[in-house]
Amino acid sequence: MRTSGLATVLLAACCVGEITAVGVSKKTPQVQILPPLQEQADLIDSWTEDRKALIPGLLRKYGVDAWLMSQREYAEDTVFWALKNAVQFSARRRTTHLFLASPKNGAESAYSWIDNTAAVWADLRAILAEQQPRSIALNTHPEIAFASGLHAGELDTISAALGEEWAERFVLEPMLPVEVVATMVPGRLPWYRRMQETAWAIIEEAFSEKTIVPGKSTPLDIEWWMREKIQSLNYTTWFQPGVVVMTEPGFPANEPAASRSRLRAAADRPIQYGDLIHTDFGVTALGLNTDTQHLGYVLYPGETEVDIPKGMIEGLKKVNRLQDIVKENMKIGMTGNEILKASLSQMHAEGIEGKIYCHPTGEWGHSAGTVIGMTNLQDSVPVLGDMPLLKNTYYSIELYAEHWVPERNRTLKFAQEEDVYWDAKTESWEWVYGRQEEFLLVRTPAEASLQSPGEL
């Protein structure tokens, strides 16, 4: 998610298709109704147990004997949210977790306490004395959010309570919490795909004559319509929906923060015939988050899909090609910066100008894992871009391509964002629901008094 982006074009409901993990079929995306809350909680807890079962193996992978997390109510470690029960809304009192890589003497591999007395430390010291871990990982990284969740005050408390003997064994292994949060267990994918379909369905309705009245509806109107639609379906979101007229000057992914006030003012300008419109949109449910950017075109009265400016159709094809380039270069084990460099090199070799700024998603909107460029960092991204790309994660392929549109006598930015998942069977990245390959169209019945301007 950025502050804006473009997406694909779907024609009329009779012509458009549902998108599957491998492409476009012939069914319009439909809103997927969430199950009752108790069923949602059961689903979430089953996925969390699957994730917790992976932790001992990840400890061994990173050469760590034990992993300790502790937090107070409303001062939670970032990883807490990936491991909590569905009916937990925060940590309580002091909530402490200990995970062991290879427990001895038939001991458990995981322990948890909710306590505000010294008893937790006595119990913890006893377990450590029996298990004798050589290393105890703490989440204290200075830059990586998902590996830096231990509050400074809590670190002081832990060190004092456990004593020098154990404090000397504290280590930092940032990839451990990153991979725990990043890993998407297989059971989540069917519902994540349904959530993506819901996001597509809401976008399709928003970017249609059902919702947009040219000359009257503003981008701000459509943003709040989308927000209300999410709420009415018992979903929520992790960011305010964004709608931008791309044929107007200024694109947030390319604008300095100082100019955002001008961009906000443009949100009150009514959407007009001939506008290229873009949305950045996501839904949240079941502990999952989606992130999508699609494009639409506002037809003049009486026009059909054959009247879309050819230059805009070419621009969408160009950004689709850029998506393919990035997806092909996302090799497991490469760093985000290596993937960025390879993708930009191939992009330029094919004569494409644009920007690449992809990120992990799923557990959080901007989730744990390496990033592949940022809008303001196209050479490399310090720290976050130096991590290796992990398997079994979800990613938002977010980017834009520039294209000269002769019908508008301008170079326009064609932005896209679609989520992918790692398919263990094919050992490749696949679209969660699909990708946009045609513009969403806002249609208006023919009016004799209003003509298309043709080429400007």
Rounded CA-CA distance 259/390 in Å is 36
Q: How many residues does the chain have?
A: 456
Which 3 state secondary structure label does DSSP give 297?
strand
pLDDT at residue 279, rounded to an integer? 97
- Cβ neighbors of 181 (< 8 A, separation 6 or more) are 78, 79, 82, 146, 363, 364, 367, 368
User: Rounded distance, CA 182 to CA 172, Å?
Assistant: 18
Q: Is 48 in a helix, a strand, or coil? A: helix
Q: Which 3 state secondary structure label does DSSP give 50?
A: helix
Radius of gyration of the chain (CA): 24
pLDDT at 446: 82
Residues 6 or more apart whose CB falls under 8 angstroms from that of 35 comprise: 43
Separation between Cα atoms, residue 244 and residue 207, nearest integer Å: 12
Q: 223 by DSSP, 3-state: which?
A: helix
Q: What tens-digit pLDDT sequence spans the chain (456 residues)?
A: 544 333 333 333 333 333 333 333 346 999 999 999 999 999 999 999 999 999 999 999 999 999 999 999 999 999 999 999 999 999 999 999 999 999 999 999 999 999 999 999 999 999 999 999 999 999 999 999 999 999 999 999 999 999 999 999 999 999 999 999 999 999 999 999 999 999 999 999 999 999 999 999 999 999 999 999 999 999 999 999 999 999 876 555 555 554 556 666 678 899 999 999 999 999 999 999 999 999 999 999 999 999 999 999 999 999 999 999 999 999 999 999 999 999 999 999 999 999 999 999 999 999 999 999 999 999 999 999 999 999 999 999 999 999 999 999 999 999 999 999 999 999 999 999 999 999 999 999 886 345 545 444
Closest by Cα among 110, 48, 42, 109 to 83: 48
Cα end-to-end distance, the chain, whole Å: 33
pLDDT at position 263 is: 61
